[in-house]
Amino acid sequence: MTTVRVVNRYMPDNKSDPSIPKARCLPEKTTAHSHESQSKITQLLAMFASQKVLFAFTVLILCMIRAIADEEATELQILADVTEYEFQTESFTASGDVHVRYGDIVITANSVTGNVRSGDVTADGNVVFRQGERTLEGRSFSYNFITGAAGAQDASGSADGIYFRGKRLTSEGARYVLTQSRFTTCDRQNPHYYLSAKELTILPGQRLTARNAEIFLFGTRIIRIPKYSIRLGERKRRHFDLPRIGLSSKYGLHAGYRFQLSRGDSTSGTLNVIMSTRQVFQGGLEYRQIAGKPIILNLVYRQPCYGGTATNSLVSRLPEIGYAFVSQDLEGQVYDADAPERVVRQLLRPEQRMNPQRPASYFGQFSAGYFIEEPGHIKSCRLDFRSAAWARPTSLGRNALLSPAITLRQSTYESGQTYTDLGLGLSVMKSLGKDSYASLTYAKHWVGGSTPFQFDAVEIKNELASELRFRMGSWGIGLGGRYDLEQNHFFDYEVSFSKVIHCLEPKLTWRKRFDEISLDINLVGF
């Protein structure tokens, strides 16, 4: 067994010679050389050690898959002040500003030990692991270049714009699991907000899941949740919920939160909870997808309803079950089956994207359920079908878009009543710059029959709605209104102000019809 060890000497009057070739240690099948060959290698390494500055010793190892002799090799590079290598066991020890490179993986540390044959490396002291855009840091780190398995102590890192840290990290391939961890999208040393969790699982580009989690805002814990899950990857599909607080004549002081109940990408649901001084508890379960199918399940108690002809409707769905169909370009976007004409306005917003290759986009829903509406304690079963379709937006020039829409609804109730609604809409949107736009929508409804409820009745049969959003530096201002063309009066309007504070954007909104003021905190760029 031959051991080669090179220790750098500091010689201030000399400079390193870049023309000196790098040493190359061959795989095991080529190391059975004579002592004379090994002596030449030792002499070559001694020549490296004679240089004056911090010595960089590079070992290039051809790592071959032994079952396939002709497989193309990948180089393992080790750059360090001091390196020790055993040819027989193919193990090495490196210390002093160590850099290890394997393909697109780079590990830097104070010291590294490893074995070429097994692919295992262990790094200690100021460890940094980089692979593409992913970065991990830790006090100690272990990795296997063959299997991709990894482990780290006191680890921190980033992936997909998420900054995370944990007491212990384990990884197999691209999947990270951290214990006693926290994550945030704020890049400050002391982040404005973060979420802590006993266990955090990250699949870069796919999903992040936290268990037994707590949300902290400006260092103060604001809520504890059993599980939190968000989608990573495309930012338009990512969503992070913070508690929402408000004050209204209807509920008094209230606070709400949406607990995520999603399981991967196959099941998507939320538990919506609202606590208020006047209504005490409201909310319930809402599922939009179950087992990969667009199955709808709502089981809610006294949920506030912002549509319909009454401003104080509280609706219980005990339960409501249905099936939805949505065109591919609208998957993951917001639509409201109880008020499809609102989607006409939403779809022309700059942040929404419709497939330009499709002549139209659509959604529809079949559902059946048992409903109780307060006040009045009105009870009834309802069998319901509703749908909406939008033509592909047409450019009017000068950053303006035009889109027509049609909505259709048919409802049948336990009492034998039926309610039919045919609606047509026309929307125009003009971009006014980054994050700024104006829109105008005309909607006309032809209604037949009657409904025992107020929450699902069409509130305006002939409507003109407008919306204006513009940004001035870090400030955002929003104005919106709905005008009843038959009654000749403003049906509703709202005003909002927001302010970007690094990673957070608090937004204050006033809604006239409901005498409600609310505070939402959005995450910038998330």
Region 397-409: mean pLDDT is 86
> What is the band of 42 on the pLDDT scale with cuts at 50, 70, 90?
very low
Q: Is the pLDDT of residue 255 over 50?
A: yes
In this predicted structure, the answer to whether residue 317 has a pLDDT above a threshold of 90 is: yes
Beta strands in 42-174 (DSSP E): 57-63, 74-80, 82-86, 91-102, 105-115, 120-131, 134-144, 149-159, 162-172
Q: With beta carbons less than 8 A apart as the criterion, state whether 65 and 27 touch.
A: no
Q: Are strands 57-63 and 23-25 parallel, antiparallel or unpaired?
A: parallel
DSSP H or E run through 324: strand 314-326
Tokens coding 45: 């390494």
Q: Is residue 141 within 8 Å of 123, Cβ to Cβ?
A: yes
User: With contact defined as beta carbons under 8 Å apart, do 81 and 54 qualify?
Assistant: yes
Structure tokens of 79? Answer: 């750059």
Residues of the chain with CATH 2.40.160: 241-523
Phi, psi dihedrals of residue 237, rounded to the nearest 5°: -100, -5
CA-nearest of 244, 304, 353 to 455 is: 304
Strongest mean pLDDT among 170-184, 236-250, 326-340, 451-465: 451-465
Judge whether residue 524 has pLDDT over 90: no
The more confidently predicted of residues 289 and 56 is: 289
Look up the pTM and report it: 0.67
Element (H, E) at 314: strand 314-326
DSSP H helix total and E strand total for the chain: 2, 32
Tokens 């005003």 found at: 495
- Torsions phi, psi of 345, nearest 5? -70, -40
The one-character DSSP state at 51 is -
User: What pLDDT is attached to residue 486?
Assistant: 92
Q: Classify 48 as helix, strand or coil.
A: helix
φ/ψ of 235, rounded to 5, equals: -65, -30
3-state helix, strand, coil in the chain (%, to 5): 5, 60, 30
Separation CA 115–CA 47 (nearest Å): 25
Choose the weakest-confidence range: 80-94, 176-190, 302-316, 337-351: 337-351
Q: What is the DSSP string of 498-514?
A: EE-BTTEEEEEEEETTT
Q: Is the dihedral of CA 304, 309, 311, 313 positive or negative?
A: negative
Distance in angstroms (rounded) separating the CA atoms of residues 279 and 39? 87
Residues 471-491, mean pLDDT to the nearest whole number: 91
Where is average pLDDT lowest: 14-18, 93-97, 179-183, 245-249? 14-18
**Range from 403-407, 494-498, 515-519 that averages highest in pLDDT:** 494-498
Count CB-CB contacts under 10 A for residue 215. Answer: 21
Give the pLDDT confidence of 80-99 residue by residue, as tens digits.
888 888 888 888 899 888 98
**For the domain with range 241-523, which CATH number is right: 2.40.160, 2.30.30, 2.60.40, 3.10.310?**
2.40.160
pLDDT range class, residue 60, cuts 50, 70, 90: very low
Question: How large is the average pLDDT for residues 136-145?
Answer: 88
- The SS3 assignment for 42 reads helix
Task: Say yes or no to pLDDT of 153 above 80.
Answer: yes
Give the whole-angstrom CA distance, residue 208 versus residue 95. Answer: 35
Which two three-digit tokens encode residue 131?
């692979």
Q: How many CB atoms lie within 10 A of CB 228?
A: 22
Phi, psi of 351 (to 5 degrees): -75, -15
Burial class of residue 157 (count of CB atoms within 10 Å of its CB; 0-12, 13-18, 19+): buried
Which pair of structure tokens corresponds to residue 91?
Answer: 């193990």
Phi, psi of 30 (to 5 degrees): -110, 5
Taking phi over 0 as left and psi of -120 to 50 as alpha, with beta for the rest, 173 belongs to left
Backbone phi, psi, residue 502, to 5°: 55, -105
Q: Which of 103, 107, 228 lies closest to 157 in space, CA to CA?
A: 107
pLDDT at 222 over 90: no
* Residue owning tokens 């991967």: 264
| Mean pLDDT for the stretch of residues 56-81 | 53
Report whether the peptide linkage leading into residue 393 is cis, meaning its omega lies within 30 degrees of zero: no
Residues contacting residue 365 through CB under 8 Å, at least 6 positions apart: 296, 322, 323, 324, 325, 337, 384, 385, 386, 387
> If pLDDT is split at 50, 70 and 90, which confidence band does 63 have?
very low
Most confident among 208-217, 369-378, 503-512 (mean pLDDT):
369-378
Look at residue 302 and tell me whether its pLDDT is greater than 50: yes
β 74-80/504-511 pair status: unpaired
Tokens of 139: 């006090």
State whether residue 334 is helix, strand or coil. Answer: coil
pLDDT grade for 343, boundaries at 50, 70 and 90? very low
Residue 364 backbone phi and psi in degrees, to 5: -150, 165
| pLDDT over 60 (residue 237) | no
User: Which residue type sits at 431?
Assistant: S
How big is the CA angle at 525 (ends 523 and 526), to the nearest 5 degrees? 60
Compute how many other C-beta atoms are within 10 angstroms of the C-beta atom of residue 493.
15
Check: CB of residue 415 under 8 Å from CB of residue 450: no
